[in-house]
Amino acid sequence: MHDPLNAFCTHTTAYLKGATNGPLAGLKFAAKDLFDIDGHITGAGNPDWLRTHASAHRTAPVVQRLVDAGADMVGKTHTDELSRGILGENAHYGTPTNPRAPGRVPGGSSSGSAAAVAGGLVDFALGTDTGGSVRIPASFCGLYGIRPTHGRLPLDGMVGQAPSFDTIGWFARDADLLGRIGEVLLGIDLSTTRRPRHLIVAADAFAIAESATQAALAPAVEKVKALFDSHERRPVSATVPLSDWTAHQRAIQGREAWNTFGAWIDQTNPRFAFDISDNFLRGRDTSDAALAAARDFQAARRRELLALLGEDTILCLSTAPFPAPPLGQPRSTMWAQRNAISTLTTISATLGAPQLSLPLAAVDGLPVGLSILARPGADDVLLALARRVAAS
Amino acid sequence: MHDPLNAFCTHTTAYLKGATNGPLAGLKFAAKDLFDIDGHITGAGNPDWLRTHASAHRTAPVVQRLVDAGADMVGKTHTDELSRGILGENAHYGTPTNPRAPGRVPGGSSSGSAAAVAGGLVDFALGTDTGGSVRIPASFCGLYGIRPTHGRLPLDGMVGQAPSFDTIGWFARDADLLGRIGEVLLGIDLSTTRRPRHLIVAADAFAIAESATQAALAPAVEKVKALFDSHERRPVSATVPLSDWTAHQRAIQGREAWNTFGAWIDQTNPRFAFDISDNFLRGRDTSDAALAAARDFQAARRRELLALLGEDTILCLSTAPFPAPPLGQPRSTMWAQRNAISTLTTISATLGAPQLSLPLAAVDGLPVGLSILARPGADDVLLALARRVAAS
């Protein structure tokens, strides 16, 4: 395959021909190398994972649904190691090129999927989003990308990370196709979707974004506002800062990630980039007390926010605090950026809510995304709204 | 070079022809890939270290002394990553074969040097020993190996780890050659070395060894005893258990290793086997208070032990608690073994004292070493004693 962006894995030639007829016939897509394809080893972004696992015996149902709907699965794409990263740099396989931001990261962990769509190598691509892994590369690469409601899609045949947060999402270059994929995967009909009436502009979330990003997104926010009957600007989190949300999410996600991978790590002593090990060890060393406190905290936030986010209400926020950072930064810089990013991505992860990033702005030519977020289950509302925003 | 043992690095063809005349003329040796050779990159057992460093501008003085004494330096040998390991497994380059213990580790971190000597590929080899990295592979591979007095040899042109403990040591298949190398490197004359009179058999150290290893070493201990005027069996550490020595050494070594490599790690985010990162992070997270307590503890142990180890006294101990463990064990098993090993190797590291391992026994055919240890500065006494033991 022609792959000038280093988006695709070279260790597998996974290919699935789409059904002849179907709503996605004629489209090509890629799948992040966390999804099983029958007869191929799922590599998960780490050579020691690849080396210690056998070929999959079946294809992940989400991939199969797309193929059954007519789309050709043309390859598997690079991911941050075991989906544990948000910038998209992979020390083993190299970093996929961000076609919209030369010299900068593509975002991760669904890095290759975002690069492949942004570069026009495929029409759409599957990713996963535990703590931002679809939303952030969508923002950095100038794509539409959705993290659906937690639990809405089956995670079978996929290398998961942290069950409390793992979701499957997808990327497209336009809102129409993003919605068509949603109709196939979620079994919904966007032509009948209700229109939301009230918009909340998340004051605390926008305040986390750098001022240039805030300024760049302002016209897009106005455009979205115009589609609602009413709107208000208020904080998402009235009682505690969003940085607390991040800290508690990290406690749960870290411990769950260690639960998922710890036994394999112990058996294999795998090669990881240093920050991946650092992250795993923070999870391993998270106390039971911290974990219990985090679960209580999240339950309280869900109660508060679900009261705020009515059926007719949409939340609007900056997807990321800044455009794609440069490649190859020092680890301490990356860590600080990752923390800032997580302070925004934690909102939908904590709530289990769907979030959709729209590529509506740029800072010095570098894409930045505007996100819309709805209460759990309202994926259709977001997908339909994205189409209306794009058309407006 | 014919290298059936995977002892040598393939990323360099470093070779230095020895001087025509000299006490080591006609001998071939290898140097661990921590020593600089003019015109070659020092790889230090990690591909990202290799990738981010330029060629050395000069040859390490210790290597040069051997070449000036007539020996040919024929290649550089594998090491545990950045010398941070004791078993000899390298996730990037593979593990050198232990020719004396098939299916088992060679010991590390001077793994390739030990394998090359044990397998007869060279006559002798240079290693380094911070926390046991010459003594343990000597024991596991059935070799003579010495860790000299701390500070006795110049560490210039070498990738150090923890300055309070770093030393340069060497391996040979017989005690005579081990001594000849010592004469060249240390500038000593073993023909005039005094004979020690009193032997202490370290009861607490032997108690740490597995019973089969204790039993296997018993005849060797008797052989050594016979060369002394008097002997006694008593603990090295009367006031605190040796496991406390290890904990305090680890605090200092860990923090110093982070001081040595932390900036590079931050800049590079290198690929390490998981346990290497784990080890570095323990060092990074060691508190100043723990560090200060460790330095006080070590000073107290040095006062006690130097009072015990008079000019005429030699300490005798098991080099390792067991023979070479199997390859590819789970990380938690390795970690426990490493702790047990360190409880023996910490004695000379804490004291800055020389220690020499003699290959005098085997457990089910697997080599185990007996060590002799002297007060700092008495390297010549150990080298001369090793010859007498071998001849007896």
Q: Does B263 touch chain A (CB under 8 A)?
A: no
**Could you report the per-residue pLDDT of B86-119, keeping only the tens digit for each?**
999 999 999 999 999 999 999 999 999 999 999 9
Q: Does B277 touch chain A (CB under 8 A)?
A: yes
- Tell me which chain B residues have a C-beta less than 8 angstroms from the C-beta of A267: 330-331
Contact assignment for A91 to B270 by CB distance below 8 Å: yes
Burial class (CB in 10 A: 0-12, 13-18, 19+), A364: exposed
The domain limits of chain B are 28-191, 193-391
B331 HSE (CA, 13 A, CB side): 18
**Could you report the per-residue pLDDT of B182-222, keeping only the tens digit for each?**
999 999 999 999 999 999 999 999 999 999 999 999 999 99
- Tell me which chain A residues have a C-beta less than 8 angstroms from the C-beta of B281: 277-278, 281
Q: CB of B169 within 8 A of CB of B147?
A: yes
* Closest chain A residue by Cα to residue B331: A266
Helix (H) or strand (E) holding B169: strand B168-172
Which of B51, B52, B93, B271 should we substitute to test contact with A (largest number of A Cβ atoms within 10 Å)? B271
- Report whether CATH 3.90.1300.10 matches the domain B193-391: yes
**Could you report the per-residue pLDDT of B145-171, keeping only the tens digit for each?**
999 999 999 999 999 999 999 999 999
Residue A111 is a catalytic residue: no
Contact assignment for A274 to B273 by CB distance below 8 Å: no
Of A83, A110, A113, A133, catalytic: A133
On the question of a common fold for B28-191 and B193-391, the answer reads yes
CATH class for domain B28-191? alpha beta
Residues of B marked active site are found at: 32, 109, 133
Q: What ipTM score was computed for the predicted complex, to two decimals?
A: 0.92
Which of A271, A281, A335 should we substitute to test contact with B (largest number of B Cβ atoms within 10 Å)? A271
- Tens-digit pLDDT string for chain A (392 aa): 789 999 999 999 999 999 999 999 999 999 999 999 999 999 999 999 999 999 999 999 999 999 999 999 999 999 999 999 999 999 999 999 999 999 999 999 999 999 999 999 999 999 999 999 999 999 999 999 999 999 999 999 999 999 999 999 999 999 999 999 999 999 999 999 999 999 999 999 999 999 999 999 999 999 999 999 999 999 999 889 999 999 999 999 999 999 999 999 999 999 999 999 999 999 999 999 999 999 999 999 999 999 999 999 999 999 999 999 999 999 889 999 999 999 999 999 999 999 999 999 999 999 999 999 999 999 999 999 999 999 99
Q: Does B280 touch chain A (CB under 8 A)?
A: yes
Q: What is the pTM of this model?
A: 0.94
Of A89, A92, A332, the CB nearest to B266: A332
How does the average pLDDT of chain A come out, rounded? 97
97-156 in B: which are within 8 Å (CB) of A? none
Question: Between β-strands A124-128 and A72-77, what pairing exists: parallel, antiparallel or unpaired?
Answer: unpaired
Q: CB of A372 within 8 A of CB of A314?
A: yes
Q: Does A51 touch chain B (CB under 8 A)?
A: no
Helix runs in chain A, H state only: 47-51, 61-68, 111-118, 135-141, 175-186, 203-208, 211-225, 242-268, 274-284, 288-308, 331-351, 379-391
- Tell me which chain B residues have a C-beta less than 8 angstroms from the C-beta of A275: 269
**Residues 6 or more apart whose Cβ sits within 8 Å of residue A20:** A70
Distance, in Å, from the CA atom of B203 to the CA atom of B317, rounded to the nearest integer, reads: 8
Q: Does B195 touch chain A (CB under 8 A)?
A: no
Distance, in Å, from the CA atom of A356 to the CA atom of A284, rounded to the nearest integer, reads: 31
Q: Does A271 touch chain B (CB under 8 A)?
A: yes
Distance, in Å, from the CA atom of B392 to the CA atom of B380, rounded to the nearest integer, reads: 18
